[in-house]
Amino acid sequence: MKIFWIICAILFSAILFMWGVNASQPKATHQFDPNKCTRFCHDKGCPHFERRKNSFPDWAVSLYQSNISMLKNNVFGLSYREANVLLYVLLVPILSLTLLWGLLRKKK
């Protein structure tokens, strides 16, 4: 039962941290801002990334572009948004929690 409360504390602190970061940011806008990313970048592609692409290693740029391409052209026929939520909001946290649960149980 102690493991359950440890995982709940980890999960709650992660949610609290996300809420804090989100609450401290200015209200989201779809207007283009030349100095920083906005929802415009999410919706239409990020010109900031195109300008800064050379400052990242090639493998990181390739990984990023492969990830976006995989999400857009997924085998389930989902939209980019649906695939993104399914993978990064549901599957990855569930897999991480399952692995953490297994690790903590094994350490007993």
Residues found near Zn ion in the complex (CB under 5 A):
37, 41, 46, 48
- Evaluated on CA atoms 19, 79, 67, 75, the torsion sign reads positive
Report the residue number, 21 or 75, with the smaller CB distance to Zn ion: 21
* CA-CA-CA-CA dihedral for 20, 24, 28, 29, to nearest 10: -170
Q: Read off the DSSP letter of residue 78.
A: -
Element housing 84 (H / E): helix 80-84
> What is the Cα–Cα distance from 5 to 17, expressed in whole angstroms?
18
Shortest spacing between CB 50 and Zn ion, in angstroms: 9
Nearer CB in complex with Zn ion: 39/91: 39
Q: Smallest distance, Å, CB 96 to Zn ion? A: 27
CB of 47 or CB of 102, closer to Zn ion:
47
Q: How far is the CB of 56 from Zn ion (least distance, A)?
A: 14
- Least CB distance to Zn ion at residue 27 (A): 17
Cα gap 97→17, rounded to integer Å:
17
> Nearer Cβ to Zn ion, position 15 or 37?
37
